[in-house]
Amino acid sequence: MVDIAAPTAALLERTRSQFDAAAHALLLRKRPAWPLAIIRILFGLVVFGWTATMAVDVASLLGSDALVPLEFASQDGWNWFTLESTGAAWVAIGVLLIASVAITLGWRPTAWLAVTFVLLVAVQRRNPMILNSGDVLLRNFALILAFMPTGAALSVDRWRRHGRSALWTAPDVAPWGLRLIQLQLCVVYFFAFWSKGGDLWHNGTAVSTVFRIDDITRFGSPGWLTTNVALIGLFTWGTLAIELALTTLLWARRLRPVLIGLGFLLHFFIDVFVLVGFFGPLMMIGLLSFADADWLERRIAARRATPQPA
């Protein structure tokens, strides 16, 4: 009889140690905080843009006498608090504007990101008739970013703790929070791809239909493009291919720069032709979570080392 206990134990031990090493590399091995800082600044600017554009329409969309009256505010989920008047809506918008500036500058960003999440949920549940995917993504990113040390670099917090000279340096941080935003991004791409099961996506004509939905096009229907079978096929299947690639291949380090570029191109074209609000900018911010922190550190260090003209 062959004794399999020893080889099995060795195999289990080897597997466990490989798993530990992979988990450590994925979640714990420290990297420069540059990507987090860049994401935080850009996210703060998007929150500012979202809030400023909403501020213009507070009375019409969120006020006491808005298009959608208070009794039809979303009753889904927990009500953090309800915006029961135009004044309450203005307070929420005002605090969101302050939060967006604080996040951009890196002044206690974790606390302000949590505040932003709560306020976005309250504002968005006040009028569910006007929301799109970008609005939901905005609050999801706010919550996920609250789990990250986003103020570790390029921030007022760093300036206050370590002085002005520290502003252009970044500490190394554990990347476990960053993995959550990367997961959220890949989930968006995967389910956007997965749900496109209709015949128009399969036969390569879906983008022609999208371009002819006049009420969602930004500059009107691009007539010459909607009838070009070859280009429409390329755009339709290209969209599916890029979405699938961004779900899976983005994790392959070598392919990452190309895929980030393709993702930017995809969202740029969508934004040019279709009214998608803040969805495109947010997805581009999400793509930056895959930026190579070590590469960024080398570039910035080289720039720091270059003598500046007197």
Residue 35 is a binding residue for other proteins (CB under 8 A): no
Residues 141-180, interacting with other proteins (CB under 8 A) = 143-144, 147-149, 151-152, 162, 165-166, 169-174, 176-177, 179-180
Question: Which CB, 276 or 285, lies closer to other proteins?
Answer: 276
Q: Quick one: which segment of 97-105, 216-224, 246-254, 284-292 binds other proteins (CB under 8 A)? A: 216-224
Alpha-carbon distance of 43 to 50, in angstroms, equals: 10
- Using only C-alpha atoms, the chain has a radius of gyration, in whole angstroms, of 23
Interface pick for other proteins out of 65, 164, 224, 308 (rule CB under 8 A):
65
Q: Quick one: which segment of 3-11, 87-95, 194-202, 251-259 binds other proteins (CB under 8 A)? A: 194-202
Residues 13-32, interacting with other proteins (CB under 8 A) = 27-28, 30, 32
Interface pick for other proteins out of 133, 159, 234, 292 (rule CB under 8 A):
133
Alpha-carbon distance of 268 to 204, in angstroms, equals: 20
DSSP string, 107-124: SSHHHHHHHHHHHHHHHH
Residue 303 is a binding residue for other proteins (CB under 8 A): no
Residue 88 is a binding residue for other proteins (CB under 8 A): no
Question: Which CB, 8 or 17, lies closer to other proteins?
Answer: 17
Alpha-carbon distance of 8 to 125, in angstroms, equals: 55
Using CB under 8 A as the binding criterion, the count of chain residues that bind other proteins stands at: 92
Binding-site string for other proteins from residue 244 to residue 263, where x marks contact by CB under 8 A and - marks none: --------------------
The HSE-up count of residue 146 (CA atoms within 13 Å, CB side) is: 15
Residue 57 is a binding residue for other proteins (CB under 8 A): yes
Residue 97 is a binding residue for other proteins (CB under 8 A): no
Residue with token string 């270059």? 306
Question: What is the nearest approach in angstroms of other proteins to the Cβ of residue 170?
Answer: 6
Tokens of 184: 């959220």
How many whole angstroms from its chain centre is CA 238?
A: 22
Residue 265 is a binding residue for other proteins (CB under 8 A): no
Tokens of 113: 């990101």
CA nearest to 295, candidates 262, 256, 267: 256
Q: Is 151 left (phi over 0), alpha (psi -120 to 50) or beta?
A: alpha
